[in-house]
Amino acid sequence: MFWSALPGAISLGLIWGLMAIGVFITYKVLDFADLTVDGSICTGGAVCAVLMASGVNAWAAIIVAIIAGALAGLVTGIFHTLMGIPAILSGILTQLILWSVNLKIMGQANQVVDSRGSYVIVSQLEAGWAILIMFGFLAVIIGGLYWFFGTEIGSGIRATGNNPNMSRAQGINVSLNKIIGLMISNALVALAGALLAQYQGFADINMGRGAIVIGLAAVIIGEAIVTRISRNFAVQLSGVILGGIIYYIVYQFVIWLNLDTEYLKMFSAIVVAIFLAIPYWKKRYFGKFAKKRPPAGGGSASAQPDPVPGSDEEAGSSAEPVKAAGGAEGGDHV
């Protein structure tokens, strides 16, 4: 049963991994704790489901869903930048607004997508094709994001998240960059919601509940896996996708154990807590084992190999005597 359900778990992991990329942009790149995603993923699913129920093409419905998600990010950005509301509270307020908006869009608590009678991009009835299509989607998205964050605007967004005060001093419009980052993030989240609605055959008002937890889990799991491989931005985004897949495989394994389904949310929280705690445990309890041992032959523990000529290490070692001499000769002068 577990192996037969594995393709479905992988396809869901890819869809939620796409959502996690949106979380990665705000959480890691922009350094913004955005809780809008719990509402914007439902907005994307609701818009897509209603449009497809009205006979709109699946691709056109996805484009409109992306725009709706970007508008949700815009609202959060306005709350934070123009109204001075803290980041977390801005996301919560937008999330509350989107609850009413999503209900109004669907006209009810859920909306069915006829995956049998109409064309859908991904469907759980064909999980294998869904996996291939999602890999294609994600390859294009990762390539596009890799290019964008290398441009002047993208570099400005990354600088804003890294050090907003220094970015502001360099003439970067920090507020505008935050808004752009939030719009891109929630547009990707809404895209994931639209694909999820097509995949499962319906959109539900509660489909986004706990989405931020799944997104953070995928980000943390992926970071733990790919950090030692490469710091390349595209590799980090790929790691987020891998984290989403691993999360849903673990989730499927819990279901395979025939545990009470009422405990699924609890197990999800425990899994996320464990992965979040791993970096701390490694530093707190296993960090001492990573300390350098004294060199063989009785040499000093502080002995270091000769620096490479022209390297930063050599420059630093040669600058230290000058600094020390300056401090000795004129340390009392202003």
Q: Which residues of the chain have pLDDT under 50?
A: 298-334
The DSSP annotation for 101-136 comes to HHHHHHSSSEEE--TTTS--S--GGGHHHHHHHHHH
Sequence length of the chain is 334
Please state, as a whole number, how many other Cβ atoms lie within 10 Å of the Cβ of residue 114: 13
**Residue type at 120?**
V
The total of structural domains in the chain comes to 1
In a domain, 332, yes or no: no
Q: Are 211 and 34 a contacting pair, CB within 8 Å?
A: no
- This prediction has a pTM of 0.82
What is the 8-class DSSP label of residue 294? P
Q: pLDDT digits over 301-319, tens only?
A: 444 444 444 444 444 444 4
The residue to which tokens 């306005």 are assigned: 78
Beta-bridge mates of residue 111: 203
Q: What is the pLDDT of residue 148?
A: 95
In a domain, 30, yes or no: yes
In a domain, 297, yes or no: no
In a domain, 328, yes or no: no
Q: What is the pLDDT of residue 308?
A: 43
Q: Are 188 and 218 a contacting pair, CB within 8 Å?
A: no
Of 107, 36, 65, the closest CA to residue 197 belongs to 65
Q: What is the pLDDT of residue 274?
A: 81
In a domain, 162, yes or no: yes
What CATH number does the domain containing 30 carry?
1.10.3470
Q: pLDDT digits over 36-93, tens only?
A: 999 999 999 999 999 999 989 999 999 999 999 999 999 999 999 999 999 999 999 9
Phi and psi (nearest 5°) for 198? -70, -40
Q: What is the pLDDT of residue 292?
A: 53
Q: What is the pLDDT of residue 295?
A: 53
In a domain, 186, yes or no: yes
In a domain, 292, yes or no: no
Q: What is the pLDDT of residue 301?
A: 45
In a domain, 315, yes or no: no
Q: What is the token pair recorded at 286?
A: 């296993």
The residue to which tokens 């959480």 are assigned: 27
Distance, in Å, from the CA atom of 135 to the CA atom of 138, rounded to the nearest integer, reads 5
Q: Are 210 and 34 a contacting pair, CB within 8 Å?
A: no
Domain assignment of residue 11, given as a range: 2-284
What is the 8-class DSSP label of residue 26? I
Q: What is the pLDDT of residue 223?
A: 86
